[in-house]
Amino acid sequence: MSDTTTFDHIVIGAGTAGCLLANRLSADPSKRVLLVEAGRKDDYHWIHIPVGYLYCIGNPRTDWLYQTEPDPGLNGRQLRYPRGKGLGGCSSINGMIYMRGQARDYDQWAQLTGDADWRWQNSLPDFKAHEDHYRLDAANESQSNPAFTLLHGNKAVGSTGEWRIEKQRLRWDVLDAFAQAAQQAGIPATDDFNTGDNEGVGYFEVNQKAGWRWNASKAFLRPVMQRPNLTVWTETQVERLRLERDARGALRCTG
């Protein structure tokens, strides 16, 4: 362990996927893992206050400040395209909505790649493995049902994960009125946008914990930062990614 610049795995970018990968890969103590992030630590107070996204988006401390190309359909205007910069990535600056993708998209990816692991049903165990859903808390089990448990896991059998999902702490009369109007127009009401079919109207669930933003850094990175085989570099820009083929013809990253 004396060589501090040699690693078995290098993860570029400490966003949602990067934090999760660093957590899972470093669970093997025989492997040295480096997580590289161009942004700063997530110690900016506005990251953790839910309404703070208003002060993080468009802020060079936490946002890459990307803009779309001018679009004729927008009278030549450009739009802001926020991308998180810092530990947690976009999970540190977004609206905290927790929503899985459409099942049909996963199934199409499986068809296009010829890899059945992409299928929705085969991806579902991975979603369940990292979720910590409030409806499965002991005090809230009455809000759950067998169909929900099949989709979100069951704490009674130890399937709780790190990614906290809670009910929104707000409601507005105008939103309730809109939902009623949508139902009158034929759009079904739903209390779960994570069944594999996103159709419906209702309040989204959010990645928050006790009123605070629950970003990927809090969920996956902070609990394992003391692992001796995990190294995290912030304010570090990757300049080059070199790919080479090994003796079997498979691509690998070499520097």
105 and 39 within one domain: no
Alpha carbons 49 and 214: distance in angstroms, whole number: 10
179 and 124 within one domain: yes
Yes or no: say if 63 and 84 are a contact pair by the CB < 8 Å rule: yes
85 and 7 within one domain: yes
Range(s) of the domain holding residue 157: 97-206
Residue 247's pLDDT is: 80
The least confident of 17-26, 53-62, 108-117, 126-135 is 126-135
The least confident of 92-106, 160-174, 219-233 is 160-174
Which amino acid, one-letter code, is at 14? A
Q: Which residue has the tokens 């290098």?
A: 10
Q: Which among 166, 183, 206 is the end of a domain?
A: 206
> CB neighbours of 196 closer than 8 A, spacing ≥ 6?
100, 102, 103, 120
**Residues of the chain with pLDDT > 70: what percent?**
92
131 and 116 within one domain: yes
Is 1's pLDDT higher than 70?
no
Alpha carbons 46 and 62: distance in angstroms, whole number: 10
Is 250's pLDDT higher than 80?
no
Torsion of CA 103, 104, 107, 108, to 10 degrees: -150
198 and 134 within one domain: yes
200 and 105 within one domain: yes
Q: Which two tokens stand for residue 200?
A: 């419906």
50 and 20 within one domain: yes
Per the structure, how many domains does the chain have? 2
Mean per-residue pLDDT for 10-26? Answer: 96
139 and 184 within one domain: yes
Alpha carbons 14 and 21: distance in angstroms, whole number: 9
Alpha carbons 42 and 35: distance in angstroms, whole number: 14
Is 38's pLDDT higher than 60?
yes
pLDDT in tens, 117-145: 999 999 999 999 899 999 888 766 655 67
Alpha carbons 138 and 150: distance in angstroms, whole number: 17
Angle between helix 103-113 and helix 120-130 axes, rounded to 10 deg:
120
The b/e string for 113-151 (b: 16+ C-beta within 10 A; e otherwise) is eeeeebbbeebbeebbebbbbbbbeeeeeeebeeebbeb
Residue 209's pLDDT is: 96
> CB neighbours of 242 closer than 8 A, spacing ≥ 6?
253, 254, 255
112 and 181 within one domain: yes
Instruction: Write the CATH number for 83.
Output: 3.50.50.60
Residue 205's pLDDT is: 96
104 and 188 within one domain: yes
208-209/80-81 β-pairing? unpaired
Residue 248's pLDDT is: 81
Mean per-residue pLDDT over the chain, rounded: 92
pTM here? 0.88
10 and 27 within one domain: yes
pLDDT band at residue 2 under the 50/70/90 scheme: very low
Residue 6's pLDDT is: 87
53 and 28 within one domain: yes
> CB neighbours of 155 closer than 8 A, spacing ≥ 6?
136, 137, 138
Burial of 223 (0-12, 13-18, 19+ CB in 10 A): exposed
Mean per-residue pLDDT for 145-171? Answer: 82
Measured distance between the N- and C-terminal CA atoms of the chain, rounded to whole angstroms: 20
